Amino acid sequence: MELRVCLDVDDLERAITFYTQGLGLRLGRRLGDDWAELLGASAPLDLLVEPPGSAPLGESRPARRSYERHWTPVHLDFVVTGIDERVRSLVGLGARLERPVQQRRWGRMANLADPFGHGFDLLEFQGRGYDEILAGGK
């Protein structure tokens, strides 16, 4: 089974720039004027242009797309090195750092929002990464 991640955006060129320059992804294919595939993560990231205010699943749905900061129970975590430099780069490209970079037992984490309102995290593992959480782990 293959996993693909799809993100709605209102500006395809800005989204391509944000994710390629800020996270080091690369443009795979353009699948029309409103769809771009980005590669370089463990799953392809498809950027899909949808207008603000449009209904996600047809006009009968009350929810409307908004590219202001919004919350969703699904978010992306990008594992990076040099988290402080990545945060500076992403903020320079329009991201919002939502709280200071945090030190955790397993490494460091930055909570951000992209220019399209989607929340995402940067993770920089240290030591054994998440295995540091395991009691008695090696």
Domains of the chain from N-terminus onward: 1-52 (3.10.180.10), 69-138 (3.10.180.10)
Res 136 pLDDT > 60: no
If pLDDT is split at 50, 70 and 90, which confidence band does 9 have? very high
Please tell me the pTM assigned to this model: 0.88
Average pLDDT over residues 82-87: 98
Residue 133's pLDDT is what? Answer: 87
Res 59 pLDDT > 80: no
Average pLDDT over residues 107-120: 97
Residue 58's pLDDT is what? Answer: 64
By C-alpha distance, which of 14, 56, 54, 12 is closest to 35? 12
